[in-house]
Every structure is written in C-alpha cells, then in structure tokens.
C-alpha cells in the first residue's frame, strides 16, 4: 500500500507583473532578470490571500479527483506566509471547502513545503491514520519581500497548488528529505522579537534576505544527489523517468541538475517563466499545469523535488 496523487488544482492571482513593469519602479531590467533566472513575469496578489488561493486550488483538485469534501480526512498546507498565526491556513481551507471530517495543519519547510506535506500525508496514509488527504503548497510571498531589495523581490511570486492523494497499490515509490539548519541564515526572514513586560523590542517589519549564490551552490549539488538516491532506492535510472518536476527557483539550476543527471532538459518542465519562484507552491502548480496540459498518463514515472530555506530539500519518485 502506498499513496497516489489522484487529482491536482492550482490558483494564480489575477494580476500579472512583467519584468518591464518592475523596471519602471526599480533599478532592474528584463535582460538581467530573464538571463539570470528565466523569469519573465509573476502573479502578485491584490485581493487574494494565501487562504483564498488555497481554497480555490483545493476545490479544483477535488473536482479533478472526483472526491467530495466529506471524504477528505487530512489537510496539510506547506506555507511560510499563512494569513494568521492561528487558525492555520489548512483550517481555513477546511472551513472553505466544508471538509468537516478532516484534521488540518500547516507545515513550514519553506520551498520544500509541498514535498514535506506530501511525505507527511504519505506517513499518515501508510500508517492507517488517514485515507484521503489534501496536500497544498501556498504562498503570498509578495507580502514578505523588501520591495527596495532588487536582488530578492524580482524573483518571487504568489499562488497556490493542491493535490488530492489517496491510499492505493501504486503511487509514491521512494522518497528522501533532509535539512541543514547550520546553513539556515543563507535564506531567512525574522519573526517577531521578544516583547513582554520583561523586554521590549520595537515592532519592525522584517523581510526575506537571501545569499543567492550560497543557495545556488547548495541547490546544484544537493538536488541531483537527492534525486539519484530516490532513483536508486526505487531501482530506476533517469531514463525511466518521464518528467522531473522541480521547485522553480532558477532555470540555471534546472539546467545544471539535468546536466548532472545526464538527462535531456526537455524532461524538466518549467513554470517559472510566468510564475517566478512561489516557494512551497511551485511544485504543485507545475504539476497541475502538466496534468491539465495532458502531459501525464497513468503509469508514468515522475520525480518531484523541492529545495530552499532551512536549508531543506526533498525528492520522491512516483507512479502517476
């Protein structure tokens, strides 16, 4: 018994902001952004929130899977930008879709968030604690960007992706995940400081800071190694894999991973050109785009992989 993805859905905010739009409000250019990253535009939230996008993505995934809200017994959202400290985004999704039989919780594994949600759902399902789960990655990163820091704000976007997963004979074949907290400060965003009758700190808005080159070096070495491990464990070679659906941070990272695995670049689908980096939401949005374009047939073997803040990373091989 394992865990199979039986439906996907996603939501991107209505407003599209191109690189040229950004170059009108800061010292950047379409040439710099697209040549360094592959990103051409991103969706930014105006009215949408992390929860509202998640609810829409969840409804679309349930429609694709053909499941009712009552059948969902677990909801996990990977996010670092939930709307409230409590209730969790997952609890808001539960209320929004009427999944009254579900237990709901968020997971923060930054850009690895969807993979962490998927693997946690797999652990619940294979241990018998859940049967049908909704796993999501959702972010409103634009609210935690420093719009005066051109080295980070041009990279990220907003959106949500969801998958319905269920106990089945075929599905997840192998998975790996890991963290290196000692390198956490390569990509950080500070939360509230201590503030109580004993200590007083000024309330200050904090934003995301990234040492891009350190994170880049980490990604191009850790991600192919992790993918090779899950392939070995599943007894497969890269040739057996139809697509490698990776976290969408930078097209140069995808090209480097394809080179290291000796796999054609065409096997690495891309959504970062029109979405930018949406942290935990990147992988499920990409997967949903692939699903809706008819790129996946039942029985195909695919690899999913996420990496980023923490530092964290994860990959799995699955039968579609």
Choices 57-65, 170-178, 248-256, 312-320; region in contact with ligand UT7 by CB under 6 A: 248-256
Taking CB under 6 A as the criterion, the residue among 58, 97, 138, 219 binding ligand UT7 is 219
Known catalytic residue at 186: no
Taking CB under 6 A as the criterion, the residue among 144, 183, 216, 301 binding ligand UT7 is 216
* Candidates 82, 226, 247, 250; catalytic one: 247
Residue whose CB is less far from ligand UT7, 150 or 260? 150
Q: Does 151 bind ligand UT7 (CB under 6 A)?
A: yes
* Interface positions, 31-90, toward ligand UT7 (CB under 6 A): 32-33, 36-37
What is the β-pairing status of strands 103-107 and 132-140? unpaired
Which residue in the shown chain puts its C-beta closest to ligand UT7?
212
Taking CB under 6 A as the criterion, the residue among 49, 177, 250, 291 binding ligand UT7 is 250
Taking CB under 6 A as the criterion, the residue among 249, 283, 287, 304 binding ligand UT7 is 249
Taking CB under 6 A as the criterion, the residue among 182, 213, 297, 298 binding ligand UT7 is 213
Taking CB under 6 A as the criterion, the residue among 212, 238, 242, 273 binding ligand UT7 is 212
Q: Does 207 bind ligand UT7 (CB under 6 A)?
A: no
Known catalytic residue at 277: yes
Choices 173-181, 190-198, 246-254, 297-305; region in contact with ligand UT7 by CB under 6 A: 246-254
127 burial class (0-12, 13-18, 19+ CB within 10 angstroms)? exposed
Q: Which tokens in the block code for residue 278?
A: 């949406």
Q: Does 188 bind ligand UT7 (CB under 6 A)?
A: no
Known catalytic residue at 111: yes
Question: What DSSP letter does each residue of the chain carry, written as one string?
Answer: -EEEEEEEEEE--SEEEEHHHHHTTSS--HHHHHHHH---EEEE-SS--HHHHHHHHHHHHHHHHT--GGG--EEEEE-S--S-SSS-HHHHHHHHHT-TT-EEEEE--GGGHHHHHHHHHHHHHHTTS-SEEEEEEEEEGGGGS-TT-HHHHTTB-EEEEEEEEEEESSSEEEEEEEE-GGGGGGEEE--PPP-SSS---------EEE-HHHHHHHHHHHHHHHHHHHHHHHT--GGG-SEEEE--S-HHHHHHHHHHHT--GGGS---HHHH-B-GGGHHHHHHHHHHHTT---TT-EEEEEEEETTTEEEEEEEE-
Q: Does 148 bind ligand UT7 (CB under 6 A)?
A: no
Q: Does 150 bind ligand UT7 (CB under 6 A)?
A: yes
* Candidates 89, 91, 111, 186; catalytic one: 111
Residues carrying an active site annotation: 111, 247, 277
Residues of the shown chain interacting with ligand UT7 in the complex, contacts defined by CB under 6 A? 28, 32-33, 36-37, 111, 150-151, 154-155, 212-213, 215-216, 219, 249-250, 253, 277, 279, 308
């Amino acid at each position: 018994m394992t865990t199979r993805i039986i439906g996907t859905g996603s939501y991107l905010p209505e407003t599209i902001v191109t690189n040229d739009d950004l170059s009108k409000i800061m010292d950047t250019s379409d040439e710099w952004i697209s040549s360094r990253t592959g990103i051409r535009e991103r969706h930014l939230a105006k009215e949408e929130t992390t929860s509202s996008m998640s609810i829409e993505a969840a409804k679309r995934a349930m429609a694709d899977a053909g499941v009712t809200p009552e059948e969902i017994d677990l909801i996990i959202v990977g996010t670092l930008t939930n709307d409230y400290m409590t209730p969790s985004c997952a609890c808001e999704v539960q209320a929004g879709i009427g999944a009254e039989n579900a237990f709901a919780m968020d997971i923060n594994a930054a850009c690895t968030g969807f993979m962490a949600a998927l693997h946690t759902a797999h652990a619940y399902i294979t241990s018998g604690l859940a049967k049908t789960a909704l796993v999501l990655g959702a972010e409103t990163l634009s609210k935690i960007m420093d719009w005066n820091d051109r080295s980070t704000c041009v990279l990220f976007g907003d959106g949500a992706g969801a998958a319905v997963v269920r106990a089945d004979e075929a599905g997840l074949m192998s998975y790996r995940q890991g963290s290196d907290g000692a390198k956490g400060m390569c990509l950080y965003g500070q939360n509230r400081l201590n503030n109580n009758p004993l200590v007083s700190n000024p309330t200050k808005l904090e934003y995301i800071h990234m040492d891009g080159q350190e994170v880049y070096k980490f990604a191009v070495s850790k991600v192919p190694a992790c993918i090779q491990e899950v392939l070995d464990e599943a007894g497969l070679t890269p040739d057996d894999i139809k697509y490698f659906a990776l976290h969408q941070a930078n097209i140069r990272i995808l090209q480097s991973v394809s080179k290291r695995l000796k796999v054609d670049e065409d096997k690495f689908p891309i959504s970062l050109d029109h979405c930018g980096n949406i942290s935990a939401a990147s992988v499920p949005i990409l997967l949903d785009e692939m699903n809706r374009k008819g790129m996946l047939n039942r029985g195909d073997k695919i690899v999913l992989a996420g990496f980023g803040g923490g530092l964290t990373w994860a990959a799995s091989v699955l039968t579609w």
